């Protein structure tokens, strides 16, 4: 842009030049910053209203089942699921890191998925399940099983993964009490579930993920992680206070690697990738025996 502008200074196209010059005026910069702030504020307001309304609805109109009382209505109602399951929503919540996190999950499902059974414990918004399914299809995996405690989430996932046909299976199961045989999966993926669970359920999830995993297999977690930047920590705590009441445990009392060690009695090799000043983590645990 700078090169083009200086070249135009020597020719007779004043209209075009003044148009190009406009792109670097401070007024324009203010406009773009204001527009960006407005877009971010609208996304925040959208999400705030949807979650608040869903909470009010849940507490006033729905008799809560103790197994699902911790789950936002947003993950229960087909309408809210449709509204919120949008890439711009998940990308905003995960501060622009969503694609990197998903890419890392898929990369950690190695060496090969050929003939392997892969389990995703709990569905998630965005395209993480699609990316895993694509990888399974490309590498000729034998089965990709998706579970969730909410049928509405499974229906949403099935709608998104229709094109993978029989490769994918959808089963309604509680992550803290899975119905699979011991050691029946080669890979297990848990994407942003632990922070949603009360602390006793967090431990039960780890026990179950270990139980269904074959020796030599891997469990891959995507989750929040305590950030190195103080400002991110402060903003994160405010966000968690409003939206995710069990999430600060991920920073203060619950470490996934330590929980695996304490709850399984099985040796694991842990690899941790962190993102955005350590605000997010992909933790890969390889079961050694």
Ligand X SMILES: C[S@@+](CC[C@H](N)C(=O)[O-])C[C@H]1O[C@@H](n2cnc3c(N)ncnc32)[C@H](O)[C@@H]1O
Kindly indicate which of the ranges 49-57, 122-130, 208-216, 256-264 contains the residues binding ligand X, using the contact rule CB under 6 A.
Answer: 122-130
Cα-based distances in Å from 88 to 70, 107, 209: 25, 23, 30
Cα–Cα distance, 163 to 113 (Å, whole number): 19
Run of H or E including 146: strand 143-148
Query: Binding string to ligand X for residues 136 to 175, with x set by CB under 6 A, is what?
Result: ------------xxx--x--------------------xx
Considering Cα of 119, then 172, then 239, then 79, what sign does the dihedral take? positive
User: Among residue numbers 174 through 203, which ones bind ligand X (CB under 6 A)?
Assistant: 174-176, 191-193, 196
Residue number, 58 or 176, with CB nearest to ligand X:
176
Over its C-alpha atoms, the chain yields an Rg (Å, rounded) of: 23
Could you tell me where the DSSP H helices lie in 62-198? Answer: 78-84, 87-93, 98-108, 128-138, 151-160
Residue number, 196 or 249, with CB nearest to ligand X:
196
Cα–Cα distance, 206 to 212 (Å, whole number): 10
Give yes or no for residue 244 binding ligand X (CB under 6 A): no
User: Among residue numbers 9 through 38, which ones bind ligand X (CB under 6 A)?
Assistant: none
Give yes or no for residue 132 binding ligand X (CB under 6 A): no
Kindly indicate which of the ranges 17-25, 124-132, 213-221, 225-233 contains the residues binding ligand X, using the contact rule CB under 6 A.
Answer: 124-132
Structure tokens at 207: 């026990």
User: Least distance to ligand X from the beta carbon of 39, Å?
Assistant: 20
Site for ligand X, rule CB under 6 A: 71, 75, 90, 122-126, 148-150, 153, 174-176, 191-193, 196
């Amino acid at each position: 842009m700078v090169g083009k502008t200086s070249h135009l200074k020597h020719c007779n196209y004043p209209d075009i030049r003044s148009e190009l010059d406009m792109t670097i005026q401070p007024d324009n910069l203010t406009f773009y910053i204001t527009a960006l702030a407005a877009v971010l504020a609208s996304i925040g307001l959208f999400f705030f209203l949807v979650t608040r309304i869903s909470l009010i609805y849940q507490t006033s109109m729905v008799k809560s089942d103790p197994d699902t009382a911790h789950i936002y209505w947003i993950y229960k109602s087909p309408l809210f699921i449709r509204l919120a399951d949008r890439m711009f929503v998940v990308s905003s919540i995960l501060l622009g890191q969503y694609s990197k996190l998903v890419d890392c999950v898929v990369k950690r499902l190695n060496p090969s998925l050929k003939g392997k059974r892969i389990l995703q414990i709990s569905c998630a918004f965005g395209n993480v399940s699609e990316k895993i399914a694509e990888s399974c299809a490309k590498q000729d995996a034998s089965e990709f099983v998706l579970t969730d405690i909410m049928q509405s989430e499974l229906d949403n996932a099935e709608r998104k993964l229709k094109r993978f046909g029989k490769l994918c299976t959808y089963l309604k199961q509680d992550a803290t009490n899975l119905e699979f045989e011991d050691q029946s999966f080669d890979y297990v993926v848990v994407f942003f579930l632990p922070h949603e669970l009360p602390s006793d359920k967090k431990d039960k999830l780890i026990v179950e993920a270990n139980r269904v995993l074959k020796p030599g297999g891997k469990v891959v977690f995507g989750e929040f992680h305590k950030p190195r930047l103080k400002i991110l920590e402060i903003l994160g705590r405010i966000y968690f206070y409003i939206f995710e009441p069990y999430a600060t445990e991920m920073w203060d009392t619950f470490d996934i690697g330590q929980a695996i060690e304490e709850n399984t009695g099985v040796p694991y090799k842990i690899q941790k990738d962190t993102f955005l000043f350590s605000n997010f983590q992909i933790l890969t645990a390889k079961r050694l025996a």
